[in-house]
Amino acid sequence: MTLEGLREVAAEIGLPRFAAGQMARWLYQKRVTSIDQMTDLPKAGRARLAEKYEIGREEPLAEAISRDGTKKYLFRGANGRAIESVMIPDKERATLCVSSQAGCKMNCKFCMTGRQGFHGNLTAAQIINQVLSIPDSERLTNIVFMGMGEPLDNLDNVLQAIEILTAPWGLAWSPKRITVSTIGKLPELERLIRETNVHVALSLHSPYPTEREGLMPVERAFSTSRVLDTLRQGDFAHQRRLSIEYILWGGLNDDPRHADALARLLRGLPARVNLIPYHELPPGGPALDGHIGGPALDGHHAQPLKASPRATMEAFRDRLNSHGITATIRASRGQDIDAACGLLAGQHRN
């Protein structure tokens, strides 16, 4: 709950208005797991509170640990479907990749989550629970909404979670510690930019609309040109960062022509490009035909998706840099436990 919601609870059970601030401190700063632990509330008030409410924290259902130290957690999600979050340690940083939906509606052809369909939105409580209930919660330094689901397709709950993460009465994090990744859903993207100061990451993956549509059907509804126009109107300067996420596939979108077109597309936009290695979808998941659907991809026939060679990725990065576009290659983490980009499926496995 937000502070305003806790004020409504206080009024409902006959506690003074300032009790909402006390409850918020117990929930988000002291991170209690029982109403009885809220010891500065009167005993009778705690009893009335416990009759109608619970803290709502749930421990992970399962945990998997990668050889590289990445940890993946399974949580109860929406409508009986489990969801996953991933904790990525990196020296003094610890980033949690949180989910916002069980499954996804966007049907991107390269994503395990998208191939399982959509099963429901997570509540703000289920989003915040991923942050508070993992064993490494206290050491987290950053949060990325890059797990299962399209965050802007569940914007109300995502905004409520961001408020709890950043408000002085909540976890009091700087918005600069939070990144929301999106395919560019409009007009929700405009609202996210207007109502928050979090970083934004746009999943692009091709500078050519027809080719992107074959990979990401949402291009038909939210065209790259409209999305970039929206981002150009946002305040992406010193305090807010804009990233472009670009998966590289061998022989599809990793040649100099694509690098040049991407640089032209981003000209004048203060964005950096994260080049992402492709992770092939594992067997045993949703049925995969191994091909990109939709129309022909800018002259390419439908073809199996394959990872771009490292040397090709480095050449692509260097060509973007030569155009004045800051580009880096994202390190793959947690691939051996299906925790890398595009592999989250919310499935029980040994």
Which are the catalytic amino acids? 84, 341
Residue 331, CA distances (Å) to 22, 63, 315 in order: 42, 22, 16
Distance CA 234, CA 197 (A): 10
* 187 C-beta neighbours (distance < 10 Å), count: 12
Distance CA 192, CA 126 (A): 20
Which segments of 193-241 are extended strands (E)? Answer: 199-203
Nearest to 126 by CA among 165, 172, 166, 75: 75
Answer for the pair 188, 154: CB distance below 8 angstroms, yes or no. Answer: no
Residues comprising the chain, all counted: 350
Nearest to 203 by CA among 276, 302, 256: 276
DSSP state at residue 164: H
Residue 210, CA distances (Å) to 7, 171, 181 in order: 50, 43, 22
Query: Distance from first CA to last CA of the chain, Å, rounded?
Result: 35
Which segments of the chain are extended strands (E)? Answer: 62-65, 71-76, 82-90, 93-97, 101-103, 118-121, 142-145, 178-182, 199-203, 242-248, 271-277, 327-329
